[in-house]
Structure 1
């Protein structure tokens, strides 16, 4: 606790005032927080510039639209776990493989929900686990549906490091895989994050048509045979569409 940044703490003290008050003037913020008026003036200038506070026509301040964006993201991420879980359980029962749900956080994928397989030997995945966006079917499905500008920036800045024998470390091959995912609506991986494991992943869309998550099934590579893959793909695609529909997405 002693390592808290004092500037950040003061900024939070100012923002906390808006939990009680809808609008506040500079003087009111100074009085209520106990901070010097010059300090508050400096702080709210930065908060306003970042979109965390907004100045009204009357010269007072209120919470900025950035909080609306953050709030919507938090709500959406909580909603998707609740909406996806029953579909994930059914998918797991249908294919007898683990089902995973991931979202993008910066340049990483983070696993936010999982349903373990009933198989005696399983692939271990932990909620909260992070993975590079280029490695593994579920993270890569998120990468595949980035905007072209974001994708180009990511490819230029991200070194492709091998995590297992099948990790794609050639940018040309990665781009080909991304293009295939966009065309097919799913992606497949073999031994990309762990050796002898495979996965099939599909995108999850929200009401506005944005890809907000990835759904995958994963298991041992010897259960993802060429003969079985069409069935696994079909069921995973159907599950992804069901979750997207429940998120308000209307398929074109």
Structure 2
């Protein structure tokens, strides 16, 4: 693998995750690279249009060209259109925020969402990421992930605990994923953010392959009051509807 390419992509990821611009010294420290190396990478990315220099302060920020690439990629994801009616139906029935997610490494990426009309609701953004083993859509995608890819995550090791409810290690996660496969849906009981619960089910494409996850999330107390089992039935039915539409494309 080209080392310069890897470093350049890592630099882009760091810049795109920041709310504002960053200087060379700051970026070099975060990436553990030399200042001259970071400067050369930045100059190349500026020339290509992926990075913009922020005035005369000597700092840099990611440009909109990254967003443009992502937007074009999203347009090619046909299952977003197939899932849209099911997402609207699920929102109307549950009154909770609805997410459509895909797996990227060990994280989920939210590729579409519909916000709950409730004044207190789960916060997320399209393009946002979350640790897959902590959220319902992520656990669904891990449960039906290809075995060779899944083995890297499930190799015996502890897991970072975001809340007291996070799975402590990969052995516990493996048991949880087996339960997800048996029941056909996953539940997140405050495993990433203590106050937010979620429920998700798989979206299947041609041949029954799981290609995305459809789910809801909301304040823990409201999800408990409505009932996990009742909400899970709504989520499973919505995911089945979206899968049927996708199979008919």
After TM superposition, is the score higher than 0.5?
A: yes
Alpha-carbon contact 1:136-1:167 (below 8 Å) kept: no
CA displacement, residues 102-154 of structure 1 (integer Å, 9 cap, x when unaligned): 00122221000000001111110111111122111111111111122221222
Q: Which runs of 5+ in 2 are unaligned?
A: 1-41, 49-72
Aligned to 1:28: none
Aligned to 1:182: 181
Structure 1 position 217 matched with structure 2 position 177: no
Q: Which runs of 5+ in 1 are unaligned?
A: 10-73
What TM-score do you get using the length of structure 2 for normalisation? 0.68
State how 1:1-252 maps to structure 2 within 5 Å.
Answer: 2-4=43-45, 78-156=77-155, 160-225=159-224, 228-248=227-247
Alpha-carbon contact 1:123-1:220 (below 8 Å) kept: yes
CA displacement, residues 32-61 of structure 1 (integer Å, 9 cap, x when unaligned): xxxxxxxxxxxxxxxxxxxxxxxxxxxxxx
Are residues 4 and 247 of structure 1, via their aligned partners in 2, closer, same or farther at CA, if it must alter by over 3 Å? Answer: same
Aligned to 1:71: none
Instruction: Give the number of aligned pairs.
Output: 185
Structure 1 segments of 4+ aligned residues over 4 angstroms from their partners? 74-77
Query: For 1:159 and 1:181, how far apart are their aligned partners in 2?
Result: 20
Are residues 227 and 109 of structure 1, via their aligned partners in 2, closer, same or farther at CA, if it must alter by over 3 Å? Answer: closer
Q: Secondary structure at the match of 1:215?
A: strand
Aligned to 2:66: none
Q: Tell me how far 1:208 sits from its aligned partner.
A: 2.3
Alpha-carbon contact 2:101-2:109 (below 8 Å) kept: yes
Q: Secondary structure at the match of 1:104?
A: strand
CA displacement, residues 194-249 of structure 1 (integer Å, 9 cap, x when unaligned): 11111111011101221110111100111122762221011100000011111117
Alignment RMSD (CA, Å): 2.6
Highest Rg: 1 or 2? 1
Q: Tell me how far 1:183 sits from its aligned partner.
A: 0.8
